A = this chain, B = another copy of it.
Amino acid sequence: MTRIAIDAMGGDHAPHEIVAGAVWGAQEYGVAIELVGKQDRIEQELDKIAQDGIYSDCGTGGKPKRIKIDLNKLDIKITHASEVIEMGEAPGQAIRKKKKSSIVLAVDAVAKGSSDAVVAAGSTGAAMASSLFGLGRLTGIDRPAIAVTLPTMKKPIVLIDGGANSNCTPEMLFQFAVMGVTFSKNVLGIENPRVGVLNIGEEAGKGNELAQATYKLLDEHHEKINFVGNIEGKEIFLSVCDVVVCDGFVGNVALKITEGTSSMLFRMIKSEFKSDLVGKIIGLLAKPFMKRIGKKINYEEFGGALLLGVKGITVISHGRSKAYAIKNAVRVAKEAVETGVNEKISRFNEEQ
């Protein structure tokens, strides 16, 4: 049985929502879990769940529903971690200093083989640093990168790097393309994924030095990578490619702008409907439709992004994750384990 280690202490709503999401994921996806964190806190949470179940809005933002959890049927292991890495701490330093922290021990569980993957909603930097040092890099990969699955009108698209590397070389972006393709093919089931470079124009000579050099490198290796050229930001959601490659700075800005734009639009829509009585009534009628859209683009549905390039599976969840997002992150972790995405990245690189 696949076992997923969860950093029970990471994230804005830890440990309450994290433990709830973990057991919910275990029940829904039939996996074993390893909860890593302060033992007494985790046991308290489990006791509450045993009595009362868990409560979640299921990503709708509406009234929480009660979900019954039968803990006796689940395979739950608790691993005590006496320390917690906080959001503000410098990641490299923190993982060296806090060897007994929940994220370090959760990654360690994968390194030792007691679990198959980690889900982490705490400091992204700490999750990356502990994965890099605890698990090591895959053959042929210089730097791990974050692969984020984005919803579009048609099939989902993978953006890589979503924020692991702020300063990149063309060679790193080429490796991101290889990892993104392997993920898209094996986890999302997309055949011969098309790769685009995130850029500010379509022509080959467009963009900054990095984008130009990456274009050249991918173009030279088009027999290995199904390279379709430059992709502009406005095309990302139009399914013109399946994998978008960029450095982690641009990628992270892009992701957060997407989040900012959609939340501004939803607020504008709400306030527009509130402008008069007719609007209020129509707004009420339109609510279920708007909710369905909100659900489609909600990060909670996607659960988390995969850190690709390390010898193990690390799923990085949003710091604001509640139970529903963590449940979905457990699914992402399970799928990554079962499809063997890491072995396939290594194989791709060995074949070169």
Q: Using CB atoms and an 8 Å cutoff, list the residues of chain A in contact with chain B.
A: 88, 90, 152-153, 163, 166-167, 198-200, 203, 205, 207-209, 211, 232-238, 246-250, 252-265, 267-269, 271-273, 275, 279, 282-283, 285-286, 289-290, 292-293, 296-297
Name 18 interchain pairs, CB-CB below 8 A, sorted by A: A199-B253, A200-B252, A232-B256, A233-B253, A233-B254, A233-B257, A234-B259, A234-B260, A253-B253, A253-B254, A254-B254, A257-B261, A258-B261, A261-B265, A272-B289, A273-B289, A282-B282, A285-B285
Min C-beta distance of A235 to chain B, whole Å: 7
Partner of A167 from B205, B209, B256, B271 at Cβ < 8 Å: B209
A235, A261, A289, most chain B CB atoms within 10 A: A261
A207: chain B residues at CB < 8 Å are: 166, 249
Cα distance A153–B283 in the bound complex, in angstroms: 19
A234 touches B249 (CB 8 A): no
Question: A285 touches which one: B199, B255, B282 (CB < 8 A)?
Answer: B282
- Compute how far the CA of A290 lies from the CA of B292 in the bound complex, rounded to whole angstroms: 17
- Are A297 and B268 in touch, CB under 8 angstroms? yes
Let me know if A264 and B153 touch, CB within 8 A.
yes
Copies in the complex: 2
Known: A268-B297, A286-B286. 20 other contacts (CB 8 A): A88-B203, A152-B264, A153-B264, A166-B200, A166-B207, A167-B209, A199-B253, A200-B253, A200-B256, A208-B249, A233-B255, A234-B257, A234-B259, A237-B263, A250-B250, A254-B254, A254-B257, A257-B257, A265-B297, A272-B290
Nearest first, the 8 closest Cβ-Cβ pairs linking A and B are: A233-B256, A233-B257, A234-B260, A166-B208, A237-B264, A200-B252, A261-B261, A234-B256
- Is A260's CB under 8 angstroms from B236's CB? yes
Beyond A153-B267, A293-B272, whether A257 also contacts B282 by CB under 8 A is no
A282 to B272, CA, bound (A): 15
Residue of B nearest to A285 (CB): B282
Do A237 and B208 contact each other (CB < 8 Å), given the known contacts A269-B290, A293-B265?
no
- Chain B residues with CB under 8 Å of A252's CB are 200, 233
Q: State the Cβ distance, A87 to closest chain B Cβ, in Å.
A: 10
Q: A121 to chain B: closest CB distance in Å?
A: 16
